[in-house]
Amino acid sequence: CDSLPLVVFTGQVATPGIGKDAFQEADILSMTSPITKQNYQVKRVEDIPKIVHEAFHVANSGRKGPVVIDFPKDMGVLATNVDLCDEINIPGYEVVTEPENKDIDTFISLLKEAKKPVVLAGAGINQSKSNQLLTQFVNKHQIPTVTTLLGLGAVPYEDTLFLGMGG
């Protein structure tokens, strides 16, 4: 999904049929967990505002990506009065925005050892608006740069170190 924020709403059998091999039941959470940032299954209609609010936050924070909200059939027809939610409290969810010092040290060490380093820049450079930083880095260290299709523009086309798009 190339780091695009996406919230997907899926349908599910009614709550009493979940986990009982009900007709048309699908284990959406297990199927989508390897390919999503987070997934939810609505268990109480009162939780819908909180879940939706969190899902959009997760999809748009850190490295953007897909989030799934699985709606059992009965949750879509229950009526309730709920308050909209502004609070976000997701146990274990943390957006890492800065690399750890040991990771930077490892990168520098590997870069120094490299005989012919090349930077492969993708969409993340453009999405994070880090184009100037990348250009400064590759020019300072004289590292040729290749981009993916969605990384085009990460380094100016006229830059002598820009080799073009790979593939």
Asked if pLDDT for residue 1 goes beyond 60, the answer is: no
Return the higher-pLDDT residue of 35 and 79.
35
The structural domains of the chain, ordered by start, are 6-76 (3.40.50.970), 101-165 (3.40.50.1220)
pLDDT tens-place string over residues 76-119: 666 566 566 666 777 777 766 778 889 889 988 998 899 999 99
pLDDT tens-place string over residues 124-162: 888 888 999 999 999 999 999 999 988 899 999 999 999
User: Shortest CA distance to 35 belongs to which of 9, 68, 70, 69?
Assistant: 68
Cα within 13 Å of Cα(70), Cβ side? 21
User: Quick one: average pLDDT of 54-77?
Assistant: 88
Give me the residues paired with residue 66 across strands: 6
**0.85 surpassed by pTM:** no
* pLDDT at 126 (0 to 100): 87
Alpha-carbon 19 to chain mean position: 28
Return the higher-pLDDT residue of 3 and 5.
5
Starting at the edge strand found earlier in the chain, the sheet holding 119-121 runs 119-121, 145-147, 162-165
* pLDDT at 82 (0 to 100): 59
* pLDDT at 17 (0 to 100): 78
